[in-house]
Structure 1
Amino acid sequence: MSTIYLRFRNRHYAKPDDLILLKDIAQIVAPKELENKIKELPIHQITPEDQHLVVIDMMKVVKIIKQNFEVDVRNIGQPEIIVEILTKLMLKKPNLIAVLFVWILLFVGSGVAIMNFHHDVSMQEVHKRLYYLITGIEKERPLLLQIPYSFGIGLGMILFFNHVFKKKINEEPSPLEVEMFLYQQNLDQYVFLNENTENRKRI
């Protein structure tokens, strides 16, 4: 009996009414005479009832393969894959006005947050004190410290998030990217546990 090895991809994106083939959702290692036939096996037909997410279980895939071929199936990696169905709204280009509105909202919000923080820690008094310690002159607005400090905040944010617009400074992920990755992992785990049809039946 021939042996085939399957490994689910991390995630698959599909359009409404798509027919999902095995090659779309998994990497396959199989004997050459079977490989192409196994890759073209239909696994799931997207329907309106699927809504936004579909969880495909390895057991379902093994069952379909076994119905068509006499082979030994071995799974490497995770036992489920999430298929995300891209709706017309998701495929639509973002509205420039909406993007601009969100950008202004975030810009103003972050600016207010920074100003409130500086007010809470009395940053102006700290600058005045530092200026006096360095120069021996008392000044109400020590711009010599405040201007470089303001530019330093912006530079610090760029280094922290590791991005200048769409360009990355280096290959290391930023803290925001790491948090988004962990959030996506937790979200996927929740979907695996709650959207899987086998789990639903058991519950």
Structure 2
Amino acid sequence: MDKSLYVRLRHRIQARPNQMIKIEDVAQLVAGTETLDKVRNISIHQINMSDKSIVVLDVIRIIKEIRKVDSELDIQTFGPAQTIVEVVYKKKRFRPMFFIGVWLLLFLGAALAIMNFHEDVSMRIVHQKIFKTITGLEDDKPLLLQIPYSIGLGLGMILFFNHVFRKRINEEPSPLEVEMFNYQQDLDQYVIMHENKESSKNIDDD
């Protein structure tokens, strides 16, 4: 009988307070039906208040728990060596006033940043010179250039961020999404290094 078990840990999962984490929650398992039925419900960790909001489960810990059930299994591991368990105590409710306040803050901040940039580079004077070069006329307010420029600026921001509200324009991630992804990766790596008790050892532990 085939005694092989292939284990691939998930990178991150969410759990409820006091939930019992099982192997099938933190890993993808490939094996025979009998082996899967034997190991999939093995308990790995009980969420408690001392865990706070983050728990890191190491693949070595999972292998040890599997060995307690069947020491003859040939366990092959793939993918990440740790799973981050995020404990969700309470879902955040949507607060319209908070959303409107943040939206206004970002809108006004972005508007001031754009206006200050245009003032720094003398964009009004540039438009006046371009208008005079094209038409031969002088105009303190060359709206023929300023209106299309303003529309183009807004469209350019939409294309840059690849979103119209919640609708994605195409499948490519926006630069903001890439930066958020990189930030989350760095944050997860920090959590793994500092919260994973199996990856650190002090002199007092001897």
Q: When the two structures are superposed, what TM-score results if normalisation uses the length of structure 2?
A: 0.94
5 Å matches for 1:39-118? 39-70=40-71, 71-88=73-90, 91-118=91-118
Q: Which runs of 5+ in 1 are unaligned?
A: none
Over the aligned positions, Cα root-mean-square deviation in angstroms equals 1.2
Q: Which runs of 5+ in 2 are unaligned?
A: none
Which whole-Å deviations, capped at 9, do the CAs of 1:150-194 have from their partners, x for residues lacking one?
A: 111110010000000111000000010011111111111111111
CA distance in 2, matches of 1:78, 1:181: 17
CA distance in 2, matches of 1:149, 1:116: 16
One-letter amino acid matched to 1:184: Q
The secondary structure found in structure 2 opposite 1:4 is strand
Retained in 1: the 8 A contact 2:11–2:82? no
CA distance in 2, matches of 1:200, 1:104: 45
**Percent identity (aligned):** 51
The secondary structure found in structure 1 opposite 2:115 is helix
State the Cα distance separating 1:37 from its structure 2 match. Answer: 2.5
CA distance in 1, matches of 2:142, 2:18: 65
Q: Residue 9 of structure 2 corresponds to which residue in structure 1? A: 8
Which whole-Å deviations, capped at 9, do the CAs of 1:83-134 have from their partners, x for residues lacking one?
A: 111121xx12121110110000000000000001101111001111110111
5 Å matches for 1:1-203? 2-70=3-71, 71-88=73-90, 91-202=91-202
CA distance in 1, matches of 2:37, 2:94: 39
CA distance in 1, matches of 2:181, 2:199: 25
